[in-house]
Structure 1
Amino acid sequence: MFGRLFPATAISAALAAVALFCAAPGATAAGPAAHPAQYDQHGPHYQRPANLQDACPAASPGQVRCMALIRTDVHGGRGVRGRAAHPAGAADALPTGYSPADIRSAYNLPSAGGAGQTVAVVEAYDNPTAEADLAVYRATYGLPACTTANGCFTKTNQEGKQSGYPAGDQYTGWSLETALDVDAVSAVCPACRILLVEADSNNDDDMAAAENTAARLGATEISNSYGEDEGWGMSAYESAYRHPGVAITAASGDLGFSVPKFPAVLPSVTAVGGTSLVRDPGTARGWSETAWGPSSSGCSAWYAKPDWQTGVPDCPGRVTADVSADADPNTGGLAVYDTTPDNFPYPGWIEAGGTSLASPIVAAVIALAGNPGDFPDASRLYRRTADLYDVTGGSNAAYGFDCGGDNLCNSAPGYDGPTGLGTPNGLAAF
């Protein structure tokens, strides 16, 4: 079976998966790394479009990497745009990229809801302009103010203190990730409170500490737009991503069919893949989606398949993703505002995406529905497939490894790895 699913360079990884699950079905596997060194994270056919740039550089072992992608050919200047900038006169053009109204239209979402919900985004390092930049974003699109003063926005360090923030490094890329996440939450759920928790670093232990702090401070949903290849030693951090009553989402990754990413691979986490979202006036929906090529999917060699995960007969392990949302910057990333100096030379309005965008979108949809307690895992979604937009076109094999032609890397009716069960269609599934 696995000889068909994996190329020759990864057969040993697949056989390791079988051995692990035969030895201890239903339990987290332990042992040497299951994925050989030649299992290149980018795959043999990987080629990123020339106009896209990773916000964050590659991470070292024991660290996570943020997954935001930036369009280098779109630069929108600084400051409030649109009619909000000139209420008495002609309006500036809105920034390039999808707006809150676009996201709500694409996913049939109400403009109201989410009162009493707190969506946390967990990041590494400090973004000192996060609140000020968020104010510009929300003013541009006519969203209500979300500030520390009115209780809507809270920023803390990994210990939960509103001071002593971690050092910022202009070359880490995490400030852009922060801006993308808080803007995405704002776009989907303007009435939600936003909790930004900044870890001291992108080390696994610091990120886990920040995750626990987000739950302790009252987050009802937590979005994680980062990850690393699953492997040995990560069991020490599993509990940080499991909090009763808190819905936790994580980006599946932007490397095509490959090694599943931690924490998205955890059975307690809703793993969020990515789509290419485009306007389609000829349809009743007005939008259409296909699997975004770089959206990661994978068959875990470390975590058994949960009983509730259906539609993936060719993998004995946990499969990512569970659900998906807009991720492709080139068909329509989110307009994002960030002025903290970073590894991108044009601070201000930019267009960004990646599964880093998809994860906070889904977390905010859960908040709109107001039932985070129904998400100790993704099982609710597997019972409500009729209430999602099924994505049936596209593949992520060209960006990673060929899975052998099945739904682990090829979009298909029902479940498939790149897009999971589909994308939000209103709130019924959530």
Structure 2
Amino acid sequence: MLGLALGLSACGGGGGGGSATATPSPASYDVASSSASMASALGATDIAVSAGDTAAVAGATSAMDMTADVGDTWRFVFNAFTSKFKLLPLQTAYGLTQTSDEGTFTKTTSGTIDTYSGNFGTPGQANGGSITIKYDTRTKSLIGSVSWHNGTTTLSSAVTGSKLAMGASITSLAGDYVFANQARNQSNGQSPSSTPGTLNIASNGLVKLCPGAKYNAASGNCLRLDGTTPNDGSQIPVTLQLAANAGGNLTLTPTGSNTLTLPNGVTHIKAHIQAGDLGPVLVIDQDWLNASNVRRTGVFVAARIQAIDSAKFSGNFYCPTIQVNGNTGGTIRVTPTSFNLVGGSQAAVIAINKVYDTGTSVERDLAGAFHMTGTDSNNQPLHQFGFQLSSSLFVFQNGGLDRLNFCQRT
């Protein structure tokens, strides 16, 4: 199979991997309005505060759903007037069977980013922990970090999510997507890995997944990046069925002969929607078995393919999981040709609408993706993969190629 990795070039790139359209010029572009239009087109609306939410937090005014990179889905429910909040487990692989203890948050605002931070219960004890959530009012998406003790251990996780629920129809999600995941062994957190690829969603919700490969609509197969077809079985897409329930929750169910195997007691895969200005994004709670029957949990994110506009990609982005001089969290300055770590020495060359083909050691076209070229700790060439989720959010593989970093425009 082929490996995808990122790369931005000064002249950019194009083509490949589905229909691609350039975004409007920055001078006339309004991210908030474009995101609202996308949400409307998808039939996505703010998550409705449920009776269960108000039972958890008196007078609850808002709810946001988020996928934790340990492989859980949690809801952040809060009262904007009292600053009280709780976390609710919507799906868990770690025994979080009840709501968290109540906490009090502090909210600060910088431009279009609202930051919620605070402790709930007693951190380090059952149902206690802490949150730092950065919510983008333009796209109604969020990133951040959460620590939550499940009674045995503290789950420390990066999170990404949204304030939006999908409409009843999934037809508007149809198209080609680029994706990447981050997974680990559920039992011990070991053997982290990250795999990029592409997928297709049909208008009836049938998903065809091509790990480390490019989906080809004409043949219905997964192709290598050079356009050739494997003959070892990897050309057959993994198939899943996507559906939305009345509450706007998205589910993926294994279907067909080449599909995923779920752990005992797990009936479906949970997902939620982001509706940024560039198109729909699916954030998926990974919880399935690998070929060796090992339970692998994590986060899986897919964005509908659209060519990156280098001018709209440039700027400063905060990444809560990167390391800067021994500290967690830092800012990356993105230009049309480079990534530079603010306050650090790390830098890399990037090429937009490109991926790195590990099979042939050359860059290939893939609209919406980017290839980042740098060096590792042993001064060896390093090729990383990433893609845009919106004009204000992107994701890329870390230097170890075993986890994802989500970065939000500041």
Does TM, normalized by the shorter one, top 0.5? no
TM-score for the superposition, normalised by structure 1:
0.27
> TM-score w.r.t. structure 2 length?
0.28
Task: Report the structure, 1 or 2, having the larger helix content.
Answer: 1
More strand by share: 2
